[in-house]
Amino acid sequence: MELSNEEIRRYSRHLILPEVGLAGQKRIKATSVLCIGAGGLGSPIAMYLAAAGIGRLGLVDFDTVDFSNLQRQIIHGTEDVGRPKSESARDTIRSINPNVEVTLHGVRLSSENALDIVRQYDIVVDGTDNFPTRYLTNDACVLLKKPNVYGSIFRFEGQASVFAPHLGGPCYRCLFPEPPPPGMVPSCAEGGVLGVLPGIIGCIQATEILKLAIGKGTTLINRLSLFNALDMKFREVKLRRDPKCPICGDHPTIKELIDYDQFCGIPAEPVNPGVHPDEVTVQDMKKALTTPSLNIKVVDVREPDEFEIARVTGTLLMPLSTLPQKFTDLDPNQQYYLSCKAGVRSMKALLFLREQGFKYLKSVKGGISAWSDEIDPSVPKY
Ligand SMILES: [Zn+2]
């Protein structure tokens, strides 16, 4: 592997670092990395690896760019809204460094395709935002003995590590043997995230990848780095491989990829995605609001900050977080439609109120986002 004169100029600040040098830069060029997700974490990871001269970069993402992504997913621009993220990311990478070979995998990573995709790369970097894909990524990496450079973010906090049982450390399952119950840990879409946070965690992941490529320094193998942006504090937790781990332990029971949706307790997509018996549509909600004789009250269970951003006239605000104290203000014999942003929290509120003896409850499918899409586009989506 040789570097052209153009590459020597481009990477000169690397080449004069004794720890990198010509040999290290050639190793970076010889390295292939699979980036799972071209979103918040994937953006800085892919951009910095491209700038650093990584040889080949694979991108797995089946999503398209949304306006609400732009606050943190800096690999995409305003004019990319609506485009496939993998294609938008590829164009940015090409403009940063045309020497990088980009391979697009515009699919959802699944038990069927993960081994075939992961096999083609030296290092895998986890930029996913959901538990089934995170366990899938972990298991595929352990089975194929690929380092898995892990990062995750939520609100103001993030964490990063390098999982590589074949290099002596633990895997993601050693740390988190069981996924949280579905709905217990809110996603960034539900809970929010500071836009710069994936930049910090993604840059830690990119740093670890470059260190693995050049074989210098001390990586995060056996360590979990925890970052809090509000306090501007880093902490570190020592990690150990769990000899009882079902995939990297001494007597592994998982020898091939499993059904990760099922493992994480996520019900399979219904063949006929109709309306759940406990749900009504936003059309039903509109009818309830415009037809007083139906005597249906619509309760919005979002937080006050969200209510301030977007609301539907005629709804009553009672945040889910205050429901255990405030539900006695409601009438257990009254018919209520419960609404939130997307229909997840309203279902939680429904289950809670039903336990308290409320009889006539429905959750509004799709929440205020669906209301904005289907009833009144002047209600902003956030
Ligand atoms: Zn393990």
Distance, CA 228 to ligand 1 centroid (Å)? 26
**How far apart are the CA of 158 and the centre of ligand 1, in A?**
21
Residues of the chain falling short of pLDDT 70: 268-274
Quick check: 117 and 58 in contact, CB under 8 A? yes
Instruction: Return d(Cα 227, Cα 236) in angstroms, integer.
Output: 9
326: left (phi over 0), alpha (psi -120 to 50) or beta: alpha
Q: How far apart are CA 16 and CA 276, in angstroms?
A: 63
Exposed e or buried b for every residue in 287-323, given b needs 16+ CB within 10 A? Answer: ebbeeeeeebbbbbbbbeebbeebbbeebeebbbeeb
**Sign of the Cα pseudo-torsion (58, 120, 210, 96, in order):** negative
Which pLDDT belongs to residue 185?
A: 78
Query: Cα–Cα distance between 167 and 217 in angstroms, integer?
Result: 15
125 Cα: distance to centroid of ligand 1 (angstroms): 17
Helix (H) or strand (E) holding 337: strand 335-339
Kindly give the distance from the C-alpha atom of residue 238 to the centroid of ligand 1, in angstroms, as a whole number.
Answer: 15
- Proportion of the chain above pLDDT 90, given as a percent: 91
Question: What DSSP line would sit under 180-206, residue for residue?
Answer: PPTTTS--HHHH-B-TTHHHHHHHHHH
Can you say whether residue 21 is alpha, beta or left, with left for phi > 0 and alpha for psi between -120 and 50 degrees?
left
Provide the pLDDT for residue 203: 98
3-class state of residue 43 by DSSP = helix
Rounded to the nearest angstrom, the distance between the alpha carbon of 265 and the centre of ligand 1 is: 20
Tokens of 108: 């959802």
CA of 223 to the centre of ligand 1 (A): 14
Instruction: With CA atoms as reference, report the closest residue to 382 among 86, 71, 130, 43.
Output: 71
Cα-to-centroid distance, 117 and ligand 1 (Å): 21
Show which residues are catalytic.
Answer: 188, 340
Q: pLDDT tens digits for 185-219?
A: 777 777 899 999 999 999 999 999 999 999 999 99
User: CA 47 to CA 128: how far, in whole Å?
Assistant: 17
**Given the structure tokens 């910090």, which residue do they identify?**
200
State the DSSP string of 343-381.
SSHHHHHHHHHHHTT--EEEEETTHHHHHHHHT-TTSPP
Residue 198 near residue 72, CB atoms below 8 Å = yes
Find all residues with CB under 8 Å of 221, minimum gap 6, and list them: 161, 162, 163, 164, 167, 168, 169
- 224 C-alpha vs ligand 1 centroid, how far in Å? 14
Residue 274, pLDDT score: 65
